[in-house]
């Protein structure tokens, strides 16, 4: 499956420890994932072959539930 790019808003991300925890959790789920985090904006862009729902579950399990996506 081709990697897709997903953008998440993570309201509970506030420090470097948060960034490390989020990155580790995503990499544990998909070692090939590319993770780009903007701590100031509280966003994460994830390039992964996993579906969005799986990534949301990983983030939620790590304690950083993404904000709902507005359409």
What local confidence, expressed as pLDDT, does residue 69 receive? 72
**Side-chain half-sphere exposure of 36, counting CA atoms within 13 A:** 5
Looking at the domain assignment, is residue 44 inside a domain? Answer: no
Looking at the domain assignment, is residue 47 inside a domain? Answer: no
pLDDT (tens digit per residue) in 20-36: 999 999 999 999 999 99
Q: Is 2 helix (H, G, I), strand (E, B) or coil?
A: coil
Specify the number of domains making up the chain: 1
| CATH number for the domain that contains residue 15 | 3.30.70.100
pLDDT (tens digit per residue) in 39-58: 999 999 999 999 999 999 99
The pTM (predicted TM-score) of the whole model is 0.91
Strand ordering across the sheet containing 34-38: 4-9, 43-48, 34-38
Residue 28: how many other CB atoms lie within 10 Å: 11
The mean per-residue pLDDT over the stretch 7-25 comes to 96
What local confidence, expressed as pLDDT, does residue 1 receive? 63
């Amino acid at each position: 499956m081709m990697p897709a790019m997903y953008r998440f808003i993570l309201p509970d991300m506030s420090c470097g420890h948060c960034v490390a925890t989020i990155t580790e959790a995503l990499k544990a789920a998909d070692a090939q994932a590319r993770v780009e985090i903007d701590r100031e904006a509280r966003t994460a862009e994830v390039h992964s072959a996993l579906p969005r729902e799986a990534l949301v579950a990983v983030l939620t399990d790590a304690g950083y539930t993404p904000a709902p996506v507005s359409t």
